[in-house]
Chain A
Amino acid sequence: MRVRLTKRYTFPASHRLHSPALSDAENRALYGKCDNPHGHGHNYEVELTVRGPVDAVTGRVVDLFALDQLAEDQFLAPFRYRDLNAEVDAFRKAVPTTENLAAEVDRRLRSVWRGVFGADGPDLEKVRIHETDRNICELSDYE
């Protein structure tokens, strides 16, 4: 009776796509407008998919309030209304593309997941981030 439950969260943040490993001309050619030195922002949407059996008593795959709290602590509060390049350690080095943002959200959640939900608790199957309606990146455990 495994079910996948997907919860969506949203936060606004700004970023700049610029790699120190590339020249200014190369950055401009690769990232275009996203390389604007002043940065720009998005309303990011993050979908977390949790997979597990449905509890016979509660009818739930996961404690939704625990999931909400985890999302708040791990990425909503740290990223909301932030300049990702300047205020999030991971993006002082890595370029805050949607891909790297998905990987960072995934890494943060997995680092505390078993501590919150226990060894026998539900699995985090997928992190899916919408940078815009047309730019979406998804990272899954591929089970």
Chain B
Amino acid sequence: MIISKKVEFSASHICRSPQLSAAENERVYGAAANPLGHGHNYVVEVAIEGRPDPVTGMILDLKRLKDILEEKVLNVYDHRLLNREVAPFDRIVPTVENIAIDIWDRIESIIDLTGSARLYSVRVHETSDLCAEYRGGK
């Protein structure tokens, strides 16, 4: 069984790779390559797979999941310029794909510690038209 929790944060980013020329960056990222940055209201959906506990009827304590997301994701990402203030985006481009992978890496080991629950997927909506999903590489 899978249960999902949704949280939101707002952040700015610059989609430019130092390994690409100015023209190549414009071609790959379009307006998102603006060196001054731009922002989004990101929506993150975290899906947890597991069996409901026979006593509580819950796969995991959703309050605990909320606290984990607050501490490990929102405190790090919310109202930040991702390229400057959130590792690893000083090294890699903060595309929605890389953000989904980074959020997975920040929370996976912690969620695994609680009962039978394990992280199934992280979905990050950058706009209502664009979403990346990471399932730990599967």
Contact = CB atoms under 8 A, between A and B. Distances in A.
B93 A5 contact: no
Interface stretch (A17-25, A28-36, A52-60, A77-85): A52-60
A54 B51 CA distance: 31
Contacts, number: 64
Interface residues of B, number: 27
B28 interface: yes
B19 A6 contact: no
Contact of B101 (A1, A57, A60): A1
B132 A3 contact: yes
Nearest to B93: A59
Chain B, interface SS category: mixed
A130 interface: no
B95 interface: yes
A65 interface: yes
Given A58-B17, A65-B27, A6 B95 contact: no
B35 interface: no
Interface string B74-98: 0000000000000000001111111
B97 A5 contact: yes
Interface of A: 1-9, 49, 54, 56-61, 63-65
24 contacts: A2-B135, A3-B101, A3-B134, A4-B132, A4-B134, A5-B132, A6-B132, A7-B129, A7-B130, A8-B128, A8-B129, A49-B133, A56-B92, A57-B17, A58-B95, A59-B93, A59-B94, A59-B98, A60-B95, A60-B97, A61-B132, A63-B28, A64-B130, A65-B28
